[in-house]
Structure formats: structure tokens, C-alpha cells
A and B are shown apart, each in its own frame.
Chain A
């Protein structure tokens, strides 16, 4: 099989998959190709797919590829499915999550220092929603729990990986301009 013949196969698998499809997983099905070749084919296929002005798109999230509807059609889809927007995170939860995402692994005390207020209940919400997980304990007195973001975090915010987040310097600059 030639690498270009891979594309329709990859597209079809991504369509039926529930989770983002990882190149490593595809390589198991297609042993004659290397992970790099599959990765390249995926990227090309996604680009080609997304260049077409359709209702669907293929995105690279949480380390894999997934097919989703395009956000611009959400009103029609929601009307058709008769679904309501799902509950959004509170401001307190988002701020706590931002601190964890950028400062991970981080302890509750460190979060408190940045936010200037207790964040226990916000953290609880994030743990329940599995956006944040316990990643270890800090080797200091009291061995406080360290928190980090999860795969669910990447999925929830449509991120390929953590490096896709804007840098903190961008927000610092913005803060300088705002104040």
C-alpha cells in the first residue's frame, strides 16, 4: 500500500472512533507503516479534510485525531438534538484551573498564594470533573499533594497538548496593559 492510500482509511477510522485516535494505535493496525508515516498521513489528511468548507472537521486533540462538527453550526445542531449547553465552569474554578495548568505540579497552598483566597471547593469541582488529578506529593514538610491537569482537561478545552496553551508571558503583557 502506498502512503497516500492510507488517508481514506484513517479518515474512516477517525469517523467511527469514540476517543481521539492516536498514531501509535493506528500503527498496530497498519504494521507496514511507521508511526511517523502515519502521523504525516494523518496531518495531511486532516489538512485536506479541513480545507473543504463542510460541516465537519478533523482536529488534533489530546494527542490524537478526532472528527467533530464545526462550532459555527452549533445553533442548528443544538436545535436538532434538542440539547442545552452543558454547565460551564465557574470563574473560581476557571481561575484555579488556570493556576494549575500553568504552574503544575502545584500544591493547594501555592494556589492560595496566587489567587489570594481559599480554593478548596473550586479544586474539589475540578477533581470531580476529572479535569485535574493528583500527580504526586511534594517532598517538603507535610508532603502536600501536588495537582496537575489531566487528559480530560485537554479534551474539555480542545487542546492538542499543554504546549498549545498561550504562554503566561502573553497574559502578563496583557495584564500590564490592563492596569
Chain B
């Protein structure tokens, strides 16, 4: 594993006293504790609870000073640390027989920290795998027409007819005259590209539903023709006179 590929690189630690702020590294209280333990080169099986608690609380104070919303889990951990610290200070229970092993109040916390570090390592492994997968391409899918689907390429006449239908339906609606906003073919081209990035196919008629004005309809239609001309989209029917579908063509440009 390449350590330079760490998704959340630990900034070069300035070994100056006090607290270095590295908010992005500390997603949660366990991350902060792990950081403190590593920085202080502490043996996890023998954590100096008083020292760590002090540093942890200092950090929380700093978060408050910086107006960072200190989420509940940070306070729960603070309470846990203080509880462990107080139990460490108590003298051994005289009732408990001497040969019986006294349970270390830190055991649970150590387990939690190790468990957390374990999954952090697993996350790191996933990150490396993701990097590799991002550097790999599959053969690009061609324009495949599945057998049995009997698709029909759409003629200009079909498209005009469908367009006429859209305009007719629009005019049949009682519509209010509103101030019209400018709309350009470029905008509509971008809109259609965006739609096709999300959907594999779009129905011709849905593209025109809920458009506010006839100008929008016409501009959308022109944008569609422009995209066909550029081979960015492809129009087809499952059978003649059926609904027209829009899908990505061979020169489809992903909208940015």
C-alpha cells in the first residue's frame, strides 16, 4: 500500500507544543484519540488516561472556541475518559480477593480503539482498490440494437409530426400569458445532455411536458435537432407511429 495515497493525508506534524489544528483528520472522537496516542507514542495497552483526557478536553475547548458545533459523541467520549480516569484513581477494592485480577477500566476503550483502527485500515484498502479501478476502462458499449426489439430509426417526418402534436396539445391548454424569460438553444442542449446522463432513454413527449411557453417548445425542438445533427443523440421508435425515444448517440458529450 502506498502511504502517499492516503485519502486523508496526515499533514506533516509540526512538533511544536500545543495543539495543531487538523480538523479534517478528526472525523470523530476515536480518530482524535488515535491521533493523540500515535503522536505521543503511547502504548495502547497502557494509556496514561490523565494525560490523554487532558489533551482531549483541550481539543474540545478549542473546537468550541472556533465555534465548531461539538456533536454529542465528542461529549460522550469526554465523559467516558473522565469516568475511566476516576476509576483509575480509586484504590483497589479491599473486598476483592488479592489473587483475583482486577479489571482494567481502560479495557473497553482499548478494544474500541483497536476495532476502529482495524476498520480504518480496511477503508484504506478500499481506497487503494478504488484508485486502481479508476485507472481502468471497459470496452465502451457501442450502439447495440437488441434483436427482437425491432427498433425503427425515426424519419424527419415522424419527428415533425410528433412536434406538431406537442404544439397542438400545448395550444389546447388554457394558459396564462406570463412574462417570458429568455431561453437559448444552448441552454436546452445542455438540459437534454444532463437528462441523458441520468436516464438512458427519454420519451420524446415527456421532454415537452410542463414547458412554460411555445417559445420553450420550439427552442427545445431546435436543440433536439441540433443534437441529432451532431450525432450526440439518436431518435428511434419501437414501431412506426409509436412513441419516439431519445438516447445517447456516438458523439454524446458529457455535460460539464
Interface residues of A (CB under 8 A from B): 15-18, 66-72, 74, 77, 81, 85-86, 88-92, 94-95, 97-99, 101-102, 114-118, 156-159, 165-166, 168, 171-172, 174-176, 178-179
Provide 22 A-B residue pairs closer than 8 Å at the C-beta atoms, listed in order of the A residue. Answer: A15-B139, A18-B138, A67-B139, A71-B135, A77-B137, A88-B130, A88-B134, A89-B126, A91-B27, A91-B123, A94-B123, A99-B119, A102-B119, A114-B119, A116-B28, A117-B28, A158-B132, A166-B122, A171-B121, A174-B118, A175-B121, A179-B114
Provide the residues of chain B in CB contact with A159, threshold 8 Å: 129
Minimum CB–CB distance from A57 to chain B (whole Å) comes to 8
A156/B119 in contact, CB under 8 A: no
User: Is B34 part of the binding interface, using a Cβ–Cβ cutoff of 8 Å?
Assistant: yes
A179 in contact with B117 given A68-B137, A69-B136 (CB within 8 Å):
yes
A95 in contact with B123 given A114-B116, A116-B28, A172-B118 (CB within 8 Å):
yes
Minimum CB–CB distance from A118 to chain B (whole Å) comes to 7
Provide the residues of chain A in CB contact with B126, threshold 8 Å: 89, 94, 97-98, 101, 157
A101/B122 in contact, CB under 8 A: yes
- Give Cα A102 to B118, complex, Å: 11
Dominant SS among interface residues on chain A? helix
User: Is B8 part of the binding interface, using a Cβ–Cβ cutoff of 8 Å?
Assistant: yes
Q: Which residue of B lies closest to A115 (CB)?
A: B28
A66 in contact with B134 given A116-B112, A171-B121, A175-B121 (CB within 8 Å):
no
- Give Cα A72 to B125, complex, Å: 19
B135/A67 in contact, CB under 8 A: no
Given contacts A165-B125, A179-B37, 20 further A-B contacts (CB under 8 A): A90-B7, A91-B8, A95-B27, A101-B126, A114-B119, A115-B28, A115-B119, A116-B28, A117-B27, A157-B129, A158-B132, A159-B129, A166-B125, A171-B121, A171-B125, A174-B118, A179-B34, A179-B38, A179-B44, A179-B117
Among A77, A81, A85, A114, contact of B115 (Cβ-Cβ < 8 Å) = A114
A175/B118 in contact, CB under 8 A: yes
Range of interface residues on B (Cβ < 8 Å): 35 or more
Among A66, A97, A101, contact of B138 (Cβ-Cβ < 8 Å) = A66
Provide the residues of chain A in CB contact with B29, threshold 8 Å: 116-117
A158/B134 in contact, CB under 8 A: no
User: Is B176 part of the binding interface, using a Cβ–Cβ cutoff of 8 Å?
Assistant: no
- Give Cα A57 to B127, complex, Å: 22
Q: Which residue of B lies closest to A89 (CB)?
A: B130
User: Is B82 part of the binding interface, using a Cβ–Cβ cutoff of 8 Å?
Assistant: no
B122/A102 in contact, CB under 8 A: yes
B121/A174 in contact, CB under 8 A: yes
Provide the residues of chain B in CB contact with A90, threshold 8 Å: 7
- Give Cα A15 to B140, complex, Å: 10
A74/B138 in contact, CB under 8 A: no
Among A15, A94, A165, A166, contact of B127 (Cβ-Cβ < 8 Å) = A94
User: Is B178 part of the binding interface, using a Cβ–Cβ cutoff of 8 Å?
Assistant: no
The 5 closest A-B pairs by CB, nearest first: A117-B28, A74-B135, A98-B122, A175-B117, A71-B135
- Give Cα A17 to B141, complex, Å: 8
